[in-house]
Every structure is written in C-alpha cells, then in structure tokens.
Amino acid sequence: MLIERVRLRGVLDSRAQPTVEADLHLSGDESFGRGSCPVAIAPGRLERRRGLNTGDLGNLLDEGPAARLVHAALHGRQVAGQRELDAVLRALDDEHALGADVTLALSLAFARAAARRSRLQLVDWLIQHHDGPPPQLPRLLVNTFSGGIHAQGPADSFQQIMAIPLGETLTDDIRMAMQVHSALARTLDNPRLSASSGYMVSDRSTRDKLTTLASVVQACGLDGQVASGVDVAAEHLSIDGGYRFEGAAHTSADFGELLLRIVDDHGLAYVEDPFDPADTTSWRTFTPRLGTAGASTVGDDLFASDAQRIQPGLAHAALLKPSQAGTVSATLDAASEAACAGLRTVVSHRSGETEDTAICDLAIAVGADHIKIGGPRRGDRITKYNRFLRLLESPHLAGLPRPPAHPKENQHVPCQ
C-alpha cells in the first residue's frame, strides 16, 4: 500500500487540552483515514510518553521535529500493511521520541484508510489482524462517581465507581446505563460531571457512594441486573510504600484488608489497580482472595498495555488503552499476550477523550469482556455509545456472543 499523504494536527481533547489527530491517504479511491489520541489527566509512570507540546494546535506538518520525521518517514512510502507501518512508527518513537500520541493517531488513521480500501469496517479490519480469542460484544463499565486524581484536591479516594449492566444484549446494557446514570443525577445535590462523565461529590465517602449507587439501581427496578466495580488507581494513592485513602495512611497489607471488606460489604465484581505497579507482592496475594470473593482484579497502570509486562498470576484481567500501547499492532499484541497468560481483557478510554471511537471496534475485535467508556454524558463519551448502536446494525456483529455475567476465575492457559 502506498502512503500518498499524511497530515498531523493539534486538536482539542474533552478537557480542552491539545492532542494529536492524523489524516492519512493511501493511493487509490476510497482510501482516507483519520485517527486521534486521547490524553490522561495523570498518565501512569510505566506508559509510553506523549510527543505533543502544550499549545501545539492546527497543522503540525509544516514545522517542528515531529513533523519533519513523519514527513520523511511516511510520505510516498510503500508498506505491506498495518504491522509494517506500526513497526516504522515504533522505531521512530524509540529512536526519536516521536510520542505515543503521534504514533497512535497515525496508526489509527492508517487502519481506517486500509480498512476502507478493503471495503471493511474498522472492526472487521481489527478482527482480521487479531490473533487471540474470538470477537464478542463487551459489557459496559459505566462511570458513575469520579474521585481520586480525576476530582479536585489531593488523590485520596477511588478514581472511579462504576455500574456494570448485566443485560442480555448490548443495547439492553446501554439502556440500563442511561437509566442508572440519569437516576443518579436526580438523587445527588448539585452533581458536577467530571471529564470522564462520573459525578464529582466531595462530601460523600466511598461507602456512601457505593450505597447510593446500589439504592439508585434498586429504585430503577434493576436489582441483580447491574453489578458494580471500582478503579482504585492506587498508583496515585501510593505514599511511603503504603496508600493514602480518605484522610488516613495505610500499610499495603492494611489497605488490602480494607479493600476486601469494601468488596465484600458492597458486593463489588470489579477492582482495577488495587495496588501500585511496583507492589507486586500485594497483587499476587490479593488476586486469588478477590477471586474467592467473586470479584476480579484488573491491571491498568500495572501492565500499561505493554505485551512485555503482561504476565500471569498478578491479576485476572489486563486493561488495554491504545494510547499506552502507542499503535494498533502493539495494542493487539497486548491483547494476545493477555489471552496467552490466561487473563481476560478490558478496553478503556482515557480521562481526556476525542471524537475517535476506535476503542469500540477494538473491544469487539479482541473479544474483551468489558469496555470503559465513561458515563453516557458529553459528546466525547456519547459518541462511543452511539458507535456501538451503529455497529449493532451489522448482522454479523449483532449476533456475536456476550461475556458471562459472572465470569469464573481464570485458569492459566499457556501460550502455544
């Protein structure tokens, strides 16, 4: 495939911070693709770095080192496909610190251009390139309360409290997400919406938020049909080898016990990043205990969507953020590695999002059990919900299986 033209531009994310969007034209008709990269409020310390400078807006191809590198490397270049293009991008990042934001935007733009040229939807292009579990229609992690570093003040609470609809179809789940999120807004005094569409309420404790969510679910008549989970985002709570939580400092062991009591008392099904990525001893002891309690641990900052970091025994699932991995191929590699390690996968948005909806296609393609796309509010999150509704119009996608509502603990399946 011949890359005819590439354009990079600085655009706004959902928090009005600059991020990268790329346009890419392959030779031939119907061969244009666009992609953009979301941005974290506070990226995990293990993830690949961004390249864009604050203030870079508009056309980025006429000036600056990134522009020159991309221009020289891609214009007029023949590539065999996604893997080769992504290898070129990764090399540019490794050698010249191009930035994962630039490489992801270009990688997604290429995927869309190549898919269009092959008369495929992005999801089908990704299915063709994925070596791992078959596609399925993921369950939604619906952000209801935002805290931690996503709210104001020093991080000393969970970053997210999420509702997890357990309906028969994905459309049922979307309907329940709308119902619960709206009912919650009516229950709270002066609710303010965070960037990732959870409500920020500083005067409620974690337990209070979880109880409020449970009573809203009950009031909606959805008892037993909506589970709940949390993103502890413990890397941001980490202090002196322990954790800061709701005004107190805890040793790692005490924090683990506290989490288990919360999981038990509130029947949580999902616990993301319960510990700092360096605290692997706690991950290893906590994960089986949580499994026994009927919940799953999920590694986000732990694995940083990096195939090299993913290993069995630490968590039940790996979270995949394309902006951490840096390219489409690196994200697919992380998904395959997770499957080989016996882990389920979760695909996720970032706190600062764009209009790009590729994570919906990706979650289906890699057979993810869950996708985190924020609460159904604000255009940047709504566009993901609507992407699913459009994808479900394709009969071959609408008929895909769904993950079990209550997954059993994973067995380690060694790679072949």
Q: Which residues bind Mg ion (CB under 5 A)?
A: 231, 300
The answer to whether residue 188 forms part of the interface with ligand 2PG (CB under 6 A) is: no
Is 13 or 300 the residue whose CB approaches Mg ion more closely? Answer: 300
Select the residue interacting with ligand 2PG from 121, 206, 348, 357 (CB under 6 A).
348
The answer to whether residue 368 forms part of the interface with ligand 2PG (CB under 6 A) is: no
Select the residue interacting with ligand 2PG from 231, 279, 361, 369 (CB under 6 A).
231
Of the ranges 53-61, 255-263, 285-293, 346-354, which one interacts with ligand 2PG (CB under 6 A)? 346-354
User: CB-based contacts of 70: which residues, under 8 Å, 6+ apart?
Assistant: 6, 8, 61, 92, 98, 102, 106
The answer to whether residue 354 forms part of the interface with ligand 2PG (CB under 6 A) is: no
Select the residue interacting with ligand 2PG from 144, 351, 354, 357 (CB under 6 A).
351
**Tokens (6 digits) for 150:** 């996503």
CB of 209 to ligand 2PG, least distance (A): 16
- Report 23-82 residues binding ligand 2PG (CB under 6 A): 40-41
Of the ranges 16-24, 244-252, 253-261, 342-350, which one interacts with ligand 2PG (CB under 6 A)? 342-350
Strands, E assignment, 232-287: 238-239, 242-245, 248-250, 270-272
Is 6 or 163 the residue whose CB approaches Mg ion more closely? Answer: 163
Q: What are the two backbone dihedrals, phi and then psi, of residue 88, each rounded to the nearest 5 degrees? A: -65, -45
How many other β-carbons are positioned within 10 Å of the β-carbon of residue 72? 11
Is 86 or 300 the residue whose CB approaches ligand 2PG more closely? Answer: 300
Is 179 or 196 the residue whose CB approaches ligand 2PG more closely? Answer: 196
CA pair distance 107, 98, nearest whole angstrom: 13
- Give the length of the chain: 416
For residue 142, what are the CA distances in angstroms to 19, 161, 180, 196?
Answer: 24, 8, 9, 10
Choose the contact partner of 41 out of ligand 2PG, Mg ion, none; CB within 5 to 8 A by kind.
Answer: ligand 2PG
User: CB-based contacts of 221: which residues, under 8 Å, 6+ apart?
Assistant: none
The answer to whether residue 236 forms part of the interface with ligand 2PG (CB under 6 A) is: no
The answer to whether residue 146 forms part of the interface with ligand 2PG (CB under 6 A) is: no
Look up tokens 């990226």; give the residue.
43
Look up tokens 């994905």; give the residue.
170
Q: Hey, which residues does 299 pair with through a beta bridge?
A: 318
Is 269 or 392 the residue whose CB approaches ligand 2PG more closely? Answer: 269
DSSP string, 367-403: T-SEEE---S-SHHHHHHHHHHHHHTTSHHHHT----
Tell me the three state secondary structure of residue 253.
Answer: helix
Half-sphere exposure at residue 365, Cβ-oriented, CA atoms within 13 angstroms: 24
CB of 400 to ligand 2PG, least distance (A): 25
Is 350 or 377 the residue whose CB approaches ligand 2PG more closely? Answer: 350
**Chain center to CA of 400:** 21
The answer to whether residue 179 forms part of the interface with ligand 2PG (CB under 6 A) is: no
CB of 354 to Mg ion, least distance (A): 18
CB of 289 to ligand 2PG, least distance (A): 22
CB of 355 to ligand 2PG, least distance (A): 16
Beta carbons of 38 and 108 less than 8 angstroms apart: no
Select the residue interacting with ligand 2PG from 350, 370, 377, 387 (CB under 6 A).
350
Of the ranges 85-93, 176-184, 288-296, 345-353, which one interacts with ligand 2PG (CB under 6 A)? 345-353
Q: What are the two backbone dihedrals, phi and then psi, of residue 237, each rounded to the nearest 5 degrees? A: -105, -5
CB of 317 to Mg ion, least distance (A): 12
**Nearest to residue 214, comparing CAs of 168, 174, 262, 246?**
262
Footprint of ligand 2PG (CB under 6 A): 40-41, 159-160, 196, 231, 233, 300, 348-351, 372
